[in-house]
Amino acid sequence: MIKVENCAFDEALLYDLENLVWVRVEGGGAEGGRFRGAQDVYGTLRIRIGITSILAYVAGRLTSVRIRAEGTEVERGKSIASIESPKYFGVVRSPARGRIVQVNRLLQDRPKIANDDPYGDGWIALMDVDSSSAGDLGMLEPLDRCRDRLAERIREMHVRCFSAFPDHEMFEIGVECAAVIPKLDELVSRIERGEVVHVVSDDPTADIEIVRWSEERGHELLEIRREDPLIHMIVRKV
């Protein structure tokens, strides 16, 4: 994975910057943005589609992913799925005209996989694209060609990515960290092992206190990031 403005991107994929989705050619690859080696005898290309880390963070912790039925014909730019969180409802748009041949059923019961692993187990759908849609696929770009524009979009959209996608948020502004720790203890006591908490504080000693808390409680401190005057801390319950 390559980090761009702290957001992860897979350099082996191709990207649709307009719709913030990625494409992987199944059974083949791409060189310089040109597809190779994945067409069958009928000229059909099979692609895997998912959301980028940008869209995953814009949406927030997903509570629902509804994917259109297998066999559905979809035009470029039209919805192949809807994604929903407590703060967001939107669609995943197709990067090309084609037919959905397989959907990721894991997302029905575990939609947050698309947040945690958007380039792996959190993929959305497989689609067959015929040769008449080659122009659509030619609009996709490898990471090395679009990295600067991705960074620009991240900044424009005020996206903040972390080492692990948070399950819970604590914004404690104007509160001494000594008072934040009991609240964090209370939250951690109610959540499942492996869940991640994003704590935001403007107490200048917050990073010191969170390191001490992590060592004493045995929970995993994944990241501390200073963005003056705020300190962002990512912890995982062990």
Compute the distance between CA of residue 164 and CA of residue 228 in angstroms, rounded to an integer.
21
Angle at 126 between CA 134 and CA 95, to 5 degrees: 40
Rounded-to-10 torsion of CA 115, 118, 120, 124: 100
Least confident span in 131-140, 209-218, 224-233:
131-140
CB 11 within 8 Å of CB 166: no
Tokens 């209370």 belong to residue: 186
Query: Which positions ≥6 away from 125 have C-beta within 8 Å?
Result: 48, 49, 67, 68, 80, 81, 100, 102, 103, 104
Q: CA 80 → CA 19, 123, 164, 192, distances in Å?
A: 12, 12, 26, 32
CATH architecture of 2-156: Beta Barrel (2.40)
- Among 19-28, 73-82, 152-161, where is mean pLDDT lowest? 19-28
Domain boundaries of the chain, sorted by first residue: 2-156, 168-236
Chain centre distance of CA 68 = 20
How far apart (Å, rounded) are the C-alpha atoms in residues 33 and 143? 10
Topology of domain 168-236, CATH: Translation Initiation Factor IF3 (3.30.110)
At 233, the pLDDT band (50, 70, 90 cuts) reads: very high
> What pLDDT score was predicted for residue 36?
44
Q: What is the distance, to the nearest Å, from the Cα of residue 34 to the centroid of all Cα atoms in its chain?
A: 25
pLDDT on residue 11: 96
- Based on DSSP, count helices (H) and strands (E) in the chain, helices before strands: 7, 18
**Quick one: average pLDDT of 207-236?**
96
- pLDDT of the residue at 27: 73
Sort residue 20 into left (φ over 0), alpha (ψ -120 to 50) or beta. left
Mean predicted confidence (pLDDT) in 179-200: 96
Q: Over the stretch 31-64, which tens digit does the pLDDT of each residue have?
A: 444 444 344 434 789 999 999 999 999 999 999 9
Residues 101-118: pLDDT tens digits?
999 999 999 999 999 999
Residue 213 in contact with residue 225, Cβ under 8 Å? no
If pLDDT is split at 50, 70 and 90, which confidence band does 218 have? very high
pTM of the model: 0.88
pLDDT digits (tens, 9 = 90+) for 129-143: 988 887 888 999 999
Helix (H/G/I), strand (E/B), else coil: 160: coil
Per-residue pLDDT, averaged over 66-88, amounts to 96
DSSP at 202: -
Q: Which residue has the higher pLDDT, 36 or 175?
A: 175
